[in-house]
Structure formats: C-alpha cells, structure tokens
Amino acid sequence: MASEPQGGGLTEYIQHHLEHLVVTTRPGAGSFWDIRLDSIVVSLVLGGLFCLWFWLLARKASSGVPSKAQALVEIIVEFVDTQVKDTFHGDRRTLTPLALSIFMWVFFMNAMDLLPVDLAGWLVTTFRGHEVAHHTYFRMVPTADVNTTIGLALSVFFLVLAHGIKAKGAGGFGKELLTAPFHAEGTVMKVVLSPFNFLLNVVEYLSKPVSLAMRLFGNMYGGELVFMLIAGLMISWIGFVPGVLFNTGWAIFHILIIALQAYIFMMLTIVYIAMAREHH
C-alpha cells in the first residue's frame, strides 16, 4: 500500500488502497481460489493478542484491589455476561465465553480502521523504497473484507444449528423444520404444509448469516472508504492540517461505529442461539 500511487489522482489512490495482499492457489482459476493473506494474518494476530491479554490478566488477577487493566477486563466480562443473562435463559457457561470472544475479536478487527490508511505504505517505503511500496498491497481492516465477515457469520450459523440439534435432538429439529411455523391437525394437512414450512425455515436460517455478514461488512467498508477519501483529499488539495482535523473528527465518530458493530454482532449471535434452543 503506497502513500501515493504513481500517476496521482484520488481515484487511483483509493483503488490502490482497496487492493488486498493476495496469494493465488490456482492460477487462472479465478478470484474465488485467491487467499487474501492480509485479512487472515491481521485476524489471527488480533485474535492471539486478545487471548494473550486476557490470559495474562487472569494469571495475575487478585481478589483485592484490582489494577486498572484487571478492572477494565472485569467490566467487559460483566457487561457481556449481563447481556447473555438477559437474552439467554439456559446454561450460559459456554455461551458467555463465546459472546465475549466474538465481541472482543470483532472490536479489535474493527479498531484497525483507526490506524492511518498509509501506515503500511509508509513502512514499506521506509524499509524497501517507494517503487516496492507502489506494487505492495495490504489492507489492515479484516472486517472491511466480505470474506472475513462471511466466515464469521458462517461460524455463527453452524453454532446455531448445533445448539438447535443439541436442544431438540436431530429428530426434533428435523420435525420442527417441517411442522413450524404453520401447524395443522391431521396427517394430510401436515404433509401439504411441510414443503412451505421447510422453505420458510430454510429462508429464515440462511438470512441470519447473510444479515450478520453484510451488516458488519457494509459499515466497516464504508468507514474505511471515508478514511481513504479524506487521506486522498489531504494529499491532493485540502492540505495536511485540515485533513488531519477531518480524519480526527471522523475517527472520534467512528469509535462509536466500531463498538456498536461489535456489540450488534455479539447480540445477534446470542439471540439466534437462544431462538434455536427454544421449543415450539
């Protein structure tokens, strides 16, 4: 990611910053088989940092006066556990850690949007030169990549199915797909309505990962695009100082979006699992 692509121009600048660091596993087979290495690396590093942070604080946790870091973690854990308790009325010993992991991981990935968009380009330019940076691509916001959000949403989708089957059994879960939401008396009417019930349930279940993925991706992609636009205008004509002020203002507002999207993703996950475990 270069600070300013050769040839100049705001359009070229933004297009350059929207390119991913791609590894092609099957040349000539199309972009479906491409691996977006930047999204994978940043996601794994942030997930590892989250786990390391909480693990270190858990080892040093004390029952006395907590440190500021321990107090912060306790506030986060209590906040997440309260949301789970208010939404899910079953055994939450596994659901609270899941909700906490989702919230913190998505928050960390979203927060990468607050880093300067030209940071990667500046590092490459400093150590390898401008020409190398011009041909190097690296996007630092994993959740602005639709592949990342779809991967997260599919993970939630399979968890929802697993919780539904665990709560109702494979037979009960399959029966519910054919007998709800339209109930009927008599074998004939049940058979007649079963295709409609199955279709409605399939649409309902598939809409959940789609809405999760698209909501998170749309908000983070739009926010990243605004940062790129401000940075490009700062380079071209609005000047450094006004550009920094505009970027700072948008960053302050964007903090709310970053936290809100992580919260929404977590809450919808809890709601979907709670719905899957309910018995009609």
Q: Rounded to two decimals, what is the model's pTM?
A: 0.88
Non-local (6+) Cβ contacts of 111 within 8 A are 258
Average pLDDT over the chain reads 87
DSSP assignment of 4-35 equals: S-TT--HHHHHHHHT---EEESSTTS-GGGEE
Check pLDDT > 90 for residue 163. Answer: yes
In the chain, where the domains are located: 10-277
Give every CB contact of residue 265 below 8 A, 6+ residues apart in sequence: 102, 103, 106, 152, 212, 215, 216
**pLDDT greater than 90 at residue 147:** yes
Pairwise pLDDT comparison (39 vs 60), residue with the higher score: 39
Q: Residues 18-41: pLDDT tens digits?
A: 888 888 877 765 677 788 999 999
Residues annotated catalytic, as ranges: 211, 215, 219
Residue 96 has pLDDT above 90, yes or no: yes
Q: How confident is the model at residue 215 (pLDDT cuts 50, 70, 90)?
A: very high
- Cα separation, 187 vs 178, in Å, equals 12
Q: Identity (one letter) of the amino acid at 269?
A: T
* pLDDT confidence bin for 5, thresholds 50/70/90: very low
Q: Which amino acid is located at 42 in the chain?
A: V
Angle, CA 261 vertex, CA 154 and CA 140 arms, to 5°: 80
Is the pLDDT at 225 greater than 70? The verdict is yes
DSSP 233: H
Q: What is the pLDDT of residues 231-256, one digit of tens each?
A: 777 766 666 667 677 777 878 888 99
Percentage of residues of the chain with pLDDT beyond 70: 92
The maximal CA–CA distance of the chain, rounded, in angstroms, is 76
Helix (H, G, I), strand (E, B) or coil at 280: coil
What's 68's DSSP letter?
Answer: H
144: which DSSP letter? G
Place of tokens 């100049």: 8
175: which residues sit within 8 A by CB, 6+ positions away? none
